[in-house]
Amino acid sequence: MTQQDGNVAMITGAARGIGLATAKRFLAEGWHVVMIDRLGDLLQKEARALGSNRAHPIVCDVSVPDQVSSAVTETLETLGRIDALVNNAGIAEFAPLLETSFETWTEVMATNLNGPFLMTQAVAPHMVAAGRGGHLVNVSSAAGLVALPWHAAYSASKYGLRGLSEVLRFDLARHDIGVSVVVP
């Protein structure tokens, strides 16, 4: 996407790691950045450290539909638009399948696969209605391309995210909304 004055990016998992680095890059390019993370104290600290009035932290667990809806509503009320969504939030629990509890499986799927689904369902209709196009970025993993030992839940979630992204690419192309999968 080309930068236009006032562009807004939402980035999940933005309190650390890839999400924080991505937020810094968007800010350097002149974007407003809505930093989404469930780690509220760390998120607030990192947003303040950026020293930019274009960094907008919102505490949100992407696996909770009401929190996702509230975060998108707050963003639209505050900034008026969303031009890019980076679904980066993710958790990793590594164990053989036979040692993976259903609770762990559910938590990994809720964040790594349901989170991008919920965020996309909340954001994409606004991109479509605005008619400016946009871009969705889903952060997967090498474990979403090649199955690795001890990665049952994580690999399944990242393979699923890759599949979801491929479908979205077809579904959203007619609205000039691009979809990318990043595989760190």
Task: Report, as residue numbers or ranges, the catalytic residues.
Answer: 154
Query: Do 42 and 25 meet the contact criterion of CB atoms below 8 Å apart?
Result: no
- Which of 114, 94, 117 shows the shortest CA–CA distance to 104? 94
128-149: burial string, b at 16+ Cβ within 10 Å, e else: beeeeebbbbbbbbebbeeeee
5 burial via Cβ count (<10 Å: 0-12, 13-18, 19+): exposed
135 Cβ contact list (under 8 Å, min separation 6)? 1, 83, 84, 85, 177, 178, 179, 180
3-state secondary structure of 180: strand
The count of other CB atoms within 10 Å of the CB of residue 48 is 11
H-assigned helices in 113-151: 115-130
